Amino acid sequence: MASSVLTDSRWIARGAERTSLSRFLLWLAPWAALLAVGVYAAGLCLYHGLNQTNMDNRFAFGLWIFLDLGIIALGAGAFFTGFLVYILKRAELKPILNTAVVVGFICYSGAVAILMIDVGQPLRAWFTFWHPNTHSMLTEVTFCISCYLLVLSLEYIPILLRNRQLRKLPSFLVFEHQLHKLVPVLAGVGTLLSFFHQGSLGGLYGVLRGRPFAFRNGIFIWPSTFFLFILSAIATGPSFLMLIVATVEKVTGRKLVPQELYRRLGFISGLLLAIYVAAKSVDTLIWLNITSPSEGFAPWQFYIHKPFGTPILFAEIVVFGLLPAFLLSYRRMAAHRGWLLCGAAMACMGVLLNRFVLTVQTLAVPTLPFDEFLSYIPSWQEVASFAGVIAYGVILYSLSYRYLTLFPKGDETHVSGN
Amino acid sequence: MFPGIDGFHWTIGHIVFLSLFFAVVATIFMTVISAVWRTNRDFQTHRAAALCWKSDFADLPEKDRRCRHELAGRVIRRTCDNAFDCRHCEKYSQFAVLPATRRAQSSGLHYPDDRFYHRGHTWVKPEEDGTVTMGLDELATHLIGDPDSWVMPTVNDEIELNQTAWRIQKNGKEIQMRSPLEGTVVAVGSPREGWYLKIRPRLDLRDPASLRHLLRGPEVNGWIARELERLQMQLRAPNTPPALADGGTMLPHLMDVIPEADWEIVLADTFLGT
Q: Measure the CA–CA gap between A73 and A295, rounded to whole angstroms.
A: 29
Helix boundaries (H) for A357-404: 362-364, 380-403
Angle, CA A17 vertex, CA A16 and CA A21 arms, to 5°: 115
Distance from CA of B242 to the nearest CA of A (A): 14
Q: Do B55 and A176 touch (CB under 8 A)?
A: yes
Provide the CATH number for the domain around residue A289: 1.20.1630.10
Separation in Å, CA B198 to CA A278, B87, B263: 74, 22, 29
Look at residue A3 in the predicted model and tell me its pLDDT.
44
Give this prediction's pTM. 0.86
Q: Please answer whether residues B143 and B256 qualify as being in contact, where contact means their C-beta atoms are separated by less than 8 angstroms.
A: no
- 3-state SS of chain A: helix, strand, coil percent to 5? 75, 0, 25
- Residues in chain A within 8 Å Cβ distance of B35: 175, 178-179, 181-182
On average, the pLDDT of chain A sits at 89
Residue in B closest to A10 by C-alpha: B264
Encoded amino acid at A75, one letter: G
DSSP labels for A166-212?
GGGSHHHHHHHHHHHHTHHHHHHHHHHHHHHHHHHHHHHHHT-TT-T
Q: What is the 3-state secondary structure (H, E, C) of B21-35?
A: HHHHHHHHHHHHHHH
Q: What percent of chain B has pLDDT over 90?
A: 45
Q: Is A15 a domain residue?
A: no
Q: Do B274 and A410 touch (CB under 8 A)?
A: no
Question: Lowest-confidence range among A276-285, B50-59, B240-249?
Answer: B240-249
Nearest CB partner across the interface for B260, out of A1, A173, A409: A1
List residues in chain B touching A: CB distance below 8 A. 1-2, 5-9, 13-14, 17, 21, 24-25, 27-28, 31-32, 34-36, 38-39, 42-43, 48-49, 51-52, 55-56, 59-62, 238, 260-265, 268-269, 273-274
Does the pLDDT of residue A160 top 90, yes or no? yes
Q: What confidence tens digit (pLDDT) does each residue in B150-188 have?
A: 999 999 999 999 999 999 999 988 999 999 999 999 999
Q: What confidence tens digit (pLDDT) does each residue in A83-124 have?
A: 999 999 999 999 999 999 999 999 999 999 998 898 888 788
Q: Please answer whether residues B148 and B91 qualify as being in contact, where contact means their C-beta atoms are separated by less than 8 angstroms.
A: no
The number of distinct structural domains making up chain A is 1
Q: Is the dihedral of CA B201, B206, B211, B217 positive or negative?
A: positive
Q: Which residues pair with B198 in a beta bridge?
A: B133, B187
Q: Measure the CA–CA gap between A418 and B215, rounded to whole angstroms.
A: 40
Q: What confidence tens digit (pLDDT) does each residue in A371-386 have?
A: 888 888 999 999 999 9
Q: Measure the CA–CA gap between A230 and A236, rounded to whole angstroms.
A: 10
Look at residue A320 in the predicted model and tell me its pLDDT.
96
Angle, CA A169 vertex, CA A167 and CA A172 arms, to 5°: 70
Q: Is A313 a domain residue?
A: yes
Look at residue B247 in the predicted model and tell me its pLDDT.
63
What range does the domain containing A196 cover? 21-407
Distance from CA of A152 to the nearest CA of B (A): 11
- Residues in chain A within 8 Å Cβ distance of B31: 154, 179, 182, 185-186, 189
Q: Is A12 a domain residue?
A: no
Q: Is A414 a domain residue?
A: no
Q: Is A8 a domain residue?
A: no
Q: What confidence tens digit (pLDDT) does each residue in B99-154 have?
A: 888 776 666 788 999 999 999 999 999 999 999 999 999 999 999 999 999 999 99
* Mean pLDDT to the nearest integer, A61-79: 91
Q: Is A13 a domain residue?
A: no
Residue in B closest to A131 by C-alpha: B1
User: In sequence order, what E strands does chain B have?
Assistant: 116-118, 122-126, 132-136, 149-151, 158-159, 164-170, 173-178, 183-190, 195-201
Nearest CB partner across the interface for B34, out of A10, A13, A182: A182
* ipTM > 0.90, yes or no: no
Distance from CA of A172 to the nearest CA of B (A): 9
H or E stretch at A21: helix A21-48
Q: Do B25 and A147 touch (CB under 8 A)?
A: yes
* Mean pLDDT to the nearest integer, B254-264: 86
Please state whether beta strands B164-170 and B149-151 pair in parallel, antiparallel, or not at all (unpaired). antiparallel
Q: Is A2 a domain residue?
A: no
Q: Is A9 a domain residue?
A: no
